[in-house]
Copies of this chain bind each other. A is one copy, B any other.
Amino acid sequence: MPDTRKPDHSRRSERSRQAILEATRALVSEVGYGKVAIETIAARAGVGKQTIYRWWPSKGAVIFDAFLALSEGHEGQGMALPDTGDIEADLKTVMRATAAEFADAEFDKPIRALNNEIINDPDLAAQYREKLARPVDEAKKERLRSAQRAGQLAADADLDLVLEVLYAPLFQRWLHRSGPLTAEYADSLVDITLRAFRP
């Protein structure tokens, strides 16, 4: 039955892809961005180097995809934010998930390692913004624009600033371990942001 070959192949590819992304995150946590090599990722993932190069042009590309997949995976729905028409409810859903994610040790270690690298390496910070932060921020801004159209957020609000006010306190609290990352905290950040940027 030749028509089943393709799905089987796809499943095998997907398993290899996931193994590569997991190996990448583990290695960044263990040895740091600078010391991770394609060879080591391939060995850890149990695939050939060529399998990695078939899908990713460079080490940087596979590392950023590994972190991007982590953000997507927890939501289970890609990068688009929920849009029920109620910006407060939707942002609380997203921010509670984000707080839970940062409080999760499995997520904490590789993201902490990535932040460590970014702090000291302006080029890597630029790559991070371009490849990882910007696509995610763009998806969030899409939801904020919908709230602006619905009159739930000031039409002239600077959306980069809205995202900073919403996320930076949680990021700093996580990075400095300066307070609990609870659902209540997530909710309060949404309440404050919506009050600051109300129409």
Residue numbers of A with Cβ under 8 A of B are 112, 115-116, 118-120, 122, 125-126, 128-129, 133, 158, 160-161, 164-165, 167-169, 171-173, 175-179, 188, 192-193, 195-197
Contacts and interface: CB of A to CB of B under 8 A. Distances in A.
B112 A119 contact: yes
Q: How many copies does the complex hold?
A: 2
A195 to B, nearest CB: 5
A147 to B, nearest CB: 17
B112 A116 contact: no
B160 A179 contact: yes
Contacts of A167: 172
Q: Give chain A's interface secondary structure class.
A: helix
A112 to B, nearest CB: 6
Contacts of A173: 164, 168
A177 B133 CA distance: 12
Given A112-B120, A119-B175, A161-B169, 15 more contacts: A112-B119, A118-B175, A118-B176, A119-B119, A125-B176, A125-B178, A129-B176, A129-B178, A133-B176, A160-B179, A165-B165, A168-B172, A169-B169, A172-B172, A192-B197
Most chain B CB atoms below 10 A, which of A118, A129, A178: A178
Nearest to A197: B192
Contact of A168 (B120, B168, B177): B168
Nearest to A134: B178
Nearest to A173: B164
Contacts of A196: 165, 192-193, 195-196
